[in-house]
Amino acid sequence: MPRPFSARLLSSSILAAGLLAVAAPASADQLRMVALSFPPLIYDDGGMPAGIAFDIVTEAMKSSGHSVTVEIMPWARALDTVREGGADAIFTAYKTPEREQFLNYSTQVLVPQVVSLFVAKDSPVSFDGDLTKLADRKFGVVNQISYGSIVDDAIKTGVLPAVEKSNDSDSNVKKLVSGRFDVMPSNRYVAQYFLKQAGALDKVKELTPAVQDIPSYIAFTKARDTTKLRDDFDKGIAAMRASGAYQQILDKYAR
């Protein structure tokens, strides 16, 4: 006995859906990532993301057939988004024990970063590598940004008791220039970028020695199994280093 028309229609629809799924383009494997505006590593360039880390991530994931979209947002919101599984990954991220609870870090370093202290050009503040000697100074940081274990621990334990928080690096640089605080820890390249944007390169100086040289990573959500995505990135960036493509991206933004 032939099936009723409605049953045949349903069966045909299921078959068609299956065929479409098989023939679906690679866009079905599109990954959503989040990041803080962190020039020159990641930033908005006329409505499109750009930067050193962005170029490396997209190229590394492309080699495994993944396409990537990146939404730039405040860091605290980005962390919450990836923690809850609303994004597949976040970058660039320092590795901390707290974040490892909800982030699946790449084993390959995305970009090594140097953290230094910046002060006003005429500031009497100096640094010999001992943060305890700066306990009477007010520090300016970006909310929920990690500055590496040395600065993070000094703030957490109260070694640096006076801290003012900003929502982004642009605001933090402007506060330093206007005298809202005394010392700004920052990735060297990020500080130089925003100081240049503000026309304030000659108003601020970088103290030596640097506080810490820290590796930064891409980290995938633990809200679902992202082991393969992490492994795909690791393979992709290793291949980029071997071919010279990684260095070409660094050289491109050094100009």
pLDDT in tens, 177-225: 999 999 999 988 888 888 988 899 999 999 999 999 989 999 999 999 9
Strands (E), the chain: 30-35, 43-45, 48-50, 67-72, 89-93, 103-105, 111-120, 139-142, 163-166, 184-187, 204-206, 212-221
Query: Within 13 Å of residue 138, how many CA atoms lie on the same side as its CB?
Result: 11
What's the mean per-residue pLDDT of the chain?
88
Flag whether pLDDT at 75 surpasses 70.
yes
Region of residue 47 (left: phi > 0; alpha: psi -120 to 50; beta: else):
left
pLDDT of residue 51: 95
The tokens of 15 are what? 């078959």
Q: Whole-prediction pTM value? A: 0.67
Coil, helix or strand at residue 249: helix
> Crossing angle, helix 245-254 and helix 52-62, to 10 degrees?
160
Q: Which amino acid appears at position 203 of this protein?
A: K
